[in-house]
Amino acid sequence: MEFNCDHITIDSRMRELSTALMVMILIFIVVSTGACTGREFTTVVKIGEIDDFPPGSVTQIDLPARFNDPDPPGSGSEIPSVVTQMESKLISPVPIFLVNDSSEGLIALYARNPFLGCTVKWWEPDQRFINPCHGEHYSMTGAWLQGPSPRNLDRFGVTVTDAGEVWVDLSKFQFGSAR
């Protein structure tokens, strides 16, 4: 069997390769954004009604959303005591605490410790958040009290509608203040 490729020019072959490359890029974009599966990259999540969060309450919630953490915990290195910082990390579900503070109102605290990324826990008897990994303590509003963390707990935006719906906006991420 003999193949004759005399009719194929370099220009037509380049066009075919360009088209194939563009199709592959389009497929990658569709698959990575979830467009072909109906998944959305939700940034605003309704978490309940205002009456669900009475004054003085602290409620742990895993938001059914994805969040691109701009300050993820570092990962290990081959050199002892060296941490390699990643640029960002996709988190899902997103762990938060919704706090209804008498002076600040509703606060959505990211339940990740800014030091090395452990999940903080609410300790009701002392009315504070505690990091079980490294011993940091934070007030009910996320203010640093003790431990090696460089800052207060991070926050997300919270909105209450006129109808009393409580929404958390992951696009309104705020780093905690430096201690």
CATH code for position 128: 2.102.10.10
Q: CB–CB of 100/109 below 8 Å?
A: no
Same domain, 20 and 62: no
Domain for residue 73, yes or no? yes
What sign results for the dihedral spanned by CA atoms 70, 74, 78, 82?
Answer: positive
Same domain, 71 and 153: yes
**Residue 118: pLDDT over 90:** no
Same domain, 48 and 33: no
Same domain, 102 and 79: yes
Same domain, 15 and 101: no
Give the separation between CA 165 and CA 159, rounded to whole angstroms: 8
Same domain, 32 and 53: no
How confident is the model over 1-16, as a mean pLDDT? 60
Domain for residue 133, yes or no? yes
Same domain, 136 and 149: yes
pLDDT at 134: 85
Domain that holds residue 9: 1-39
Same domain, 102 and 152: yes
Instruction: Tally the domains of the chain.
Output: 2
Give the separation between CA 43 and CA 36, rounded to whole angstroms: 19
Among 135, 167, 150, residue whose Cα is nearest residue 71: 150
- Identify the residue with better confidence: 78 or 62: 62
Q: CB–CB of 66/94 below 8 Å?
A: yes
How confident is the model over 31-56, as a mean pLDDT? 73
Give the separation between CA 174 and CA 23, rounded to whole angstroms: 38
pLDDT at 108: 97
Domain for residue 179, yes or no? no
How confident is the model over 127-145, as a mean pLDDT? 94
Give the separation between CA 165 and CA 162, rounded to whole angstroms: 7
- What is residue 90's three-state secondary structure? strand
Same domain, 5 and 80: no
DSSP state of 52: G
Domain for residue 152, yes or no? yes
Same domain, 88 and 164: yes
DSSP state of 34: T
Q: Is 63 exposed, middle or buried (0-12, 13-18, 19+ CB in 10 A)?
A: buried
pLDDT at 163: 96
